[in-house]
Amino acid sequence: MRDKIRVKFEKTGMMKFIGHLDVMRYFQKAIRRANIDIAYSEGFSPHQKMSFAAPLGIGLVGMGEYFDIEVYSIQGSSEDMKNALNNTMVDGFKVVSLRKLPENVPNAMSSVYAADYTVTIHGDNIKLSPKELSEKIIAFYNQDTIITEKETKKSTRMLDIKPLIYSLTSVDGVTKMCLSTGSTDNIKPELVMQKFCETYLGIEYTEDPILFDYQRDEVYTNVAKEGEAMKLVTLEDMGEVIEG
């Protein structure tokens, strides 16, 4: 019987420029170096049983990132395994917690429902005081609809993203937002700020020069039953601490 473990980690500093595939390869090596008894798939080319939650875009800091692994056996406590992994980490990666998942919990990728982000102005590329920015952000969010173009792999469609922005606040120039995330309605903070720039700042959103810095703070699942109001729980809280 294999056990499922959920790993929460941070991705900061220069590591924010590392793409998802390289992050996955890095943790595969870290798991081996930490001597965690990870399970492997069968067949001619066995690979580690590992599943990441929503991949983080290049250039974004991540303070609440997740992946699941399957292990043949649990060796030590959550703290023991966390320390073993952190002893292999380079600057910019840090394991925050490991939790054992109950049998009926879906994997991290299929659990994702929403995510929290922090957005700040990058340098002096926008000439607004923190108070002015916050006032404009709130006015932007108070609209009845926020219609924008959203590109998919096959086409571009018009979409009202207002229902997919679960919350948006801005205080002293620091903007916090909770967005729909996952395979069905995945909204990126860049899309929100692009529409904000076009409609409330009258400027074109660009990545060069960089206008905003983005940080993903946490990832959530929705545990509400059918017919109930949305009830968000962190992916971390779906697991249980492993005692020594």
pLDDT, position 1:
74
Half-sphere exposure of 183 (CA within 13 A, CB side): 5
Kindly give the parts of the chain with pLDDT less than 70.
153
For the chain, where are the E strands, in sequence order?
A: 3-11, 50-52, 61-71, 93-100, 114-121, 147-151, 156-160, 165-171, 174-180, 212-222, 232-234, 240-241
Q: How far apart are CA 45 and CA 102, in angstroms?
A: 28
pLDDT, position 188:
94
Beta carbons within 8 Å of 229's beta carbon, 6+ residues apart: none
Q: Which two tokens stand for residue 25?
A: 């390869």
| Three-state secondary structure call for residue 45 | coil
User: Per residue in 83-119, pLDDT tens?
Assistant: 999 999 999 999 999 999 998 898 999 999 999 999 9
- Neighbour tally for 212: CB within 10 Å: 19
